[in-house]
């Protein structure tokens, strides 16, 4: 399978997010990458969190990415994640999981004035975010990157 970065419209940013949870260690991490319409890195993050499932980790990373865009003046963004379940919950705003529902509602309130395109992507399309998620779990450090040069070699 050939992976090609899909361009977005000018004045739009693309946010690829991924959450990770390890049942063995009980550790979880959120991470993401924000790029401009040329594909250039604006910001990337990798942070350990407390949660009890992959689904919750994916919901929390979506909240963080949406909040970051909103707080930094990006009103138009494409949100891509490899969790089809969270994509469906975000687009349909329906779930029986009350913790996730509260998180999704909070995320919706934060980005209510933004124009967001929520889209599922395959894990292969989300490799940088996937590597950052593993980094959050293994290093247990909160990290924010503002250039490609700052990213660890294992992520580039």
Q: Is the pLDDT of residue 149 over 80?
A: yes
Domain spans of the chain?
13-150
Per-residue confidence (pLDDT) for residue 138, from 0 to 100? 84
More confident residue, 130 or 49: 49
Contact assessment for residue 55 and residue 15, using Cβ atoms and an 8 Å cutoff: no
pLDDT in tens, 52-76: 999 999 999 999 999 999 999 998 9
- pTM of this prediction? 0.85
CATH number assigned to the domain with residue range 13-150, chosen from the 4 options 3.40.605.10, 3.90.1580.10, 3.30.420.10, 3.40.228.10: 3.30.420.10
- Tokens at residue 48, please? 């350990």
Tell me which H or E stretch contains 100: helix 98-110
Distance CA 91, CA 3 (A): 25
Q: How many CB atoms lie within 10 A of CB 61?
A: 32
């Amino acid at each position: 399978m050939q992976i090609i970065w899909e361009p977005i419209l000018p004045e739009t940013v693309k946010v690829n997010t991924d959450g990770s949870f390890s049942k063995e260690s009980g550790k979880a991490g959120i991470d993401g990458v924000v790029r401009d319409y040329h594909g250039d890195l604006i910001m990337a993050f990798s942070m350990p969190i407390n949660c009890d499932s992959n689904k919750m980790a994916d919901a929390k990373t979506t909240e963080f990415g949406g909040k970051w865009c909103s707080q930094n003046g990006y009103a138009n963004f494409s949100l891509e994640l490899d969790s089809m379940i969270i994509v469906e919950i975000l687009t349909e705003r329906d779930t029986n999981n009350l913790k996730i529902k509260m998180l999704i509602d909070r995320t919706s309130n934060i980005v209510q004035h933004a124009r967001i395109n929520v889209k599922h992507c395959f894990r292969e399309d989300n490799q940088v975010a996937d590597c950052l998620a593993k980094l959050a779990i293994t290093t247990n450090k909160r990290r924010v990157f503002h250039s490609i040069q700052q990213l660890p070699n294992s992520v580039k």
